[in-house]
């Protein structure tokens, strides 16, 4: 994906004058907790649009400036700088709307991997109306490291292959992402026990999502 910087500034100008357009639920959880698995399941439900920031970055053209920047940060396990992340994200969402993949009028947006810290949450404020935070929790971090080792082999992700990078990403999550949860009121946050079979995790997530979808959107056409 190539990003037109002039276009981005006009997107920002327009959006800032309007109410936040994208009604969203945010999935938060450490690397390996199963956000990707749940995201794929949720993505198959009519009226839900799942957006993973990790997938968004991995779709960037390797040869583009942003693609190279992403690889540089991701290989180290670092986050891409916040302002660049949000700009790429805005352009990406806009493209999805233009392509008809995501309709903000009828689809609930599931944000997976973004916002990832307080600064990103604030940068997204003009665009995103957060309806709920789904906080996926798994106490045993070795379970998550084991899952990531499996994913490294299956998906050939460079950032999953190096054990030190994986542990660093986990530390970064604890330092920057978890504190973001406290930024929201308690009623906004639903804790999801991620230490069970995928269907059990999905069951908890849906028990929160269904009333939100029903309350905010007319029923999707099947």
User: Which chain residues interact with ligand ADP by CB under 6 A?
Assistant: 31, 53-54, 57, 73-74, 77-80, 85, 113-114, 116, 120, 159, 169
Q: Residue 125 and residue 133: Cα distance in Å, rounded?
A: 14
Shorter beta-carbon distance to ligand ADP: residue 27 or 209:
27
Shortest distance, CB of residue 131 to ligand ADP, whole angstroms?
19
HSE-CB at 96 with a 13 A cutoff on CA atoms is: 18
Shortest distance, CB of residue 164 to ligand ADP, whole angstroms?
13
Residue 24, exposed/middle/buried by CB under 10 A (0-12, 13-18, 19+)? Answer: buried
Shortest distance, CB of residue 41 to ligand ADP, whole angstroms?
17
**Residue least distant from ligand ADP (Cβ):** 54
Distances (CA, A) of 39 to 27, 73, 134, 188: 9, 23, 12, 20
Cβ density class 159-168: b for 16+ within 10 Å, e for less: bbeeeebbee
Bond prior to 187 in cis (omega within 30° of 0): no
Shortest distance, CB of residue 124 to ligand ADP, whole angstroms?
10
Give me the phi and psi of 85, to 5 degrees please: -55, -50
SS3 state of residue 85: helix
Shortest distance, CB of residue 177 to ligand ADP, whole angstroms?
9
Shorter beta-carbon distance to ligand ADP: residue 72 or 103:
72
Which residue, 183, 100, 113, 130, is CA-closest to 21? 130
Shortest distance, CB of residue 79 to ligand ADP, whole angstroms?
4
Shorter beta-carbon distance to ligand ADP: residue 48 or 79:
79
Shorter beta-carbon distance to ligand ADP: residue 1 or 106:
1
Shorter beta-carbon distance to ligand ADP: residue 74 or 192:
74
**Does residue 48 contact residue 209 with C-beta atoms inside 8 Å?**
yes
DSSP category for residue 220: P
Shorter beta-carbon distance to ligand ADP: residue 108 or 165:
165
């Amino acid at each position: 994906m190539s990003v037109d910087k002039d276009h981005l500034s006009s997107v920002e100008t327009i959006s800032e004058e309007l109410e936040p357009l994208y009604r969203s639920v945010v999935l938060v959880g450490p690397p390996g907790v199963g956000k990707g698995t749940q995201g794929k399941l949720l993505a198959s439900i009519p009226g839900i649009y799942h957006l993973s920031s990790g997938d968004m970055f991995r779709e960037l053209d390797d040869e583009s400036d942003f693609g190279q920047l992403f690889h540089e940060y991701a290989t180290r396990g670092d986050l891409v700088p916040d302002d660049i992340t949000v700009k790429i994200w805005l352009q990406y969402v806009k493209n999805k709307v233009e392509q008809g993949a995501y309709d903000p009028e009828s689809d609930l947006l599931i944000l997976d991997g973004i916002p990832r810290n307080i600064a990103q949450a604030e940068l997204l404020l003009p665009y995103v109306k957060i309806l709920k935070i789904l906080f996926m929790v798994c106490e045993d971090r070795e379970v998550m490291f084991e899952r990531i080792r499996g994913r490294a082999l299956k998906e050939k992700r460079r950032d999953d292959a190096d054990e030190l990078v994986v542990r660093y990403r986990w530390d970064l999550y604890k330092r920057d992402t978890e504190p973001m949860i406290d930024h929201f009121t308690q009623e906004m946050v639903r804790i999801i026990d991620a230490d069970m079979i995928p269907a059990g995790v999905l069951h908890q997530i849906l028990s929160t999502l269904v009333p939100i979808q029903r309350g905010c959107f007319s029923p999707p056409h099947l």
